[in-house]
């Protein structure tokens, strides 16, 4: 089965450091989402792309977060500088409007 | 704008009993509706979806859901719960074209007891 691949699976970093999370969407999928999951807030949509163009990043703190799709095989989510409140599981999903596949997530801990 | 409401953050059933997880949606366009399951420390797995056509949709692991436009509902059911069904279940909505942002409910944790 085709998979959405996210790296790294786990990341522990110190406050103030830059964090980059990567996602390899399934080949041919035209839409990519980035979500953040925490116990308090549940699943929050951070940003999404269609055909590599950003459609909505209103859920993302603009001062520290950035999301890009440099090519069709890679989506990135960067946090600079990271803060303890950014600790969460970050999921990438790809697909079409009639169905999406999620990656296994990146568990980020900022200490 | 689209949204979903999941009634009951926790549901507990006995093994072998009926599972019913409730989801109501709000959408200004014909909705696409999804149920996802999340096991501990894992990603979200698609259980089933409704886009168009038959309103009763069957998914994996014996689950099914019925799209009821008049009630704006998409409840998830399974006739007989199994211990392995214990997980978090998320209802989500999107739509065609510019409404294609996937919006999730807050989730329902299903507990299955002996």
Q: What is the mean pLDDT of chain B?
A: 94
**Neighbouring residues of B32: CB distance < 8 A, sequence distance ≥ 6:** A97, A98, B49, B50, B51, B93, B94, B95, B96
Mutation pick from B59, B102, B106, B108 vs chain A, by most beta carbons of A within 10 Å, is: B102
Which H or E run includes A36?
strand A31-38
What pLDDT, on a 0 to 100 scale, did the predictor assign at position A7? 97
Q: What is the pLDDT of residues B76-99, one digit of tens each?
A: 999 999 999 999 999 999 987 766
Query: What integer pLDDT is reported at residue B108 of this predicted model?
Result: 97
Contact B91, B20 (CB under 8 A): no
Question: In sequence order, what are the beta bridge partners of B108?
Answer: B89
Q: What's the pLDDT score for residue B99?
A: 60
CB atoms within 10 A of CB A103: 25
Over its length of 111 residues, how does chain A's per-residue pLDDT go in tens digits?
789 999 999 999 999 999 999 999 999 998 999 999 999 989 999 999 999 999 888 889 889 999 999 999 999 999 999 999 999 999 999 998 788 999 999 999 999
Residue of A102, A104, A107 for testing the chain B interface, max B β-carbons within 10 Å: A102
Closest residue on chain B to A56 (Cα): B101
B35 in contact with chain A, both atoms CB, cutoff 8 A: no
Chain B touched by A70 (CB under 8 Å): no
* DSSP E strand boundaries for B10-83: 10-14, 19-26, 32-38, 44-50, 56-58, 64-68, 73-78
Cross-chain residue pair A55–B49, CB shorter than 8 Å: no
Is a pLDDT exceeding 80 seen at residue B54? Answer: yes
Q: Choosing among B44, B53, B94, which should be mutated to test the A contact, i.e. which has the most A CBs within 10 A? A: B44
Cβ-based neighbours of A11, under 8 Å, separated by 6 or more: A19, A21, A106, A107, A108, A109
Interface of B with A in 67-86 (CB under 8 A): none
Say if the Cβ atoms of B49 and A42 lie within 8 Å.
no
Tell me how far apart the alpha carbons of residues B86 and A106 are, in angstroms, rounded to a whole number: 23
Distance from CA of A102 to the nearest CA of B (A): 6
CA distances from A5 to A2, A9, B43 (A): 9, 9, 11
pLDDT one-digit tens code per residue, B8-21: 999 999 999 999 99
């Amino acid at each position: 089965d085709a998979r959405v691949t996210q790296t790294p699976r786990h990341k522990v970093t110190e406050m103030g450091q830059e964090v980059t999370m990567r996602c390899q969407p399934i080949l041919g999928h035209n839409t990519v989402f980035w979500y953040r999951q925490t116990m308090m807030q549940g699943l929050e949509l951070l940003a999404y792309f269609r055909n590599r163009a950003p459609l909505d990043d209103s859920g993302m703190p603009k001062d520290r977060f950035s999301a890009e799709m440099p090519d069709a095989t890679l989506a990135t989510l960067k946090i600079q500088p990271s803060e303890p409140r950014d600790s969460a599981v970050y999921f990438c999903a790809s697909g079409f409007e009639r169905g999406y596949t999620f990656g296994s997530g990146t568990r980020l801990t900022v200490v | 704008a689209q949204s979903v409401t999941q009634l009951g953050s926790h549901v507990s059933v006995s093994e072998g009993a009926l599972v019913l997880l409730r989801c109501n949606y709000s959408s200004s366009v014909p909705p696409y509706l999804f149920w996802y399951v999340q096991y501990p420390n894992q990603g979200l797995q698609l259980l089933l979806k409704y886009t168009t056509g038959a309103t009763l949709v069957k998914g994996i692991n014996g689950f099914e859901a019925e799209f009821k436009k008049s009630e704006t509902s998409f409840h998830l059911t399974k006739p007989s719960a199994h211990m392995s069904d214990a997980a978090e279940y998320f209802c989500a909505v999107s739509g065609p074209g510019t409404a294609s942002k996937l919006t999730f409910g807050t989730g329902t944790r299903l507990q299955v007891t002996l």
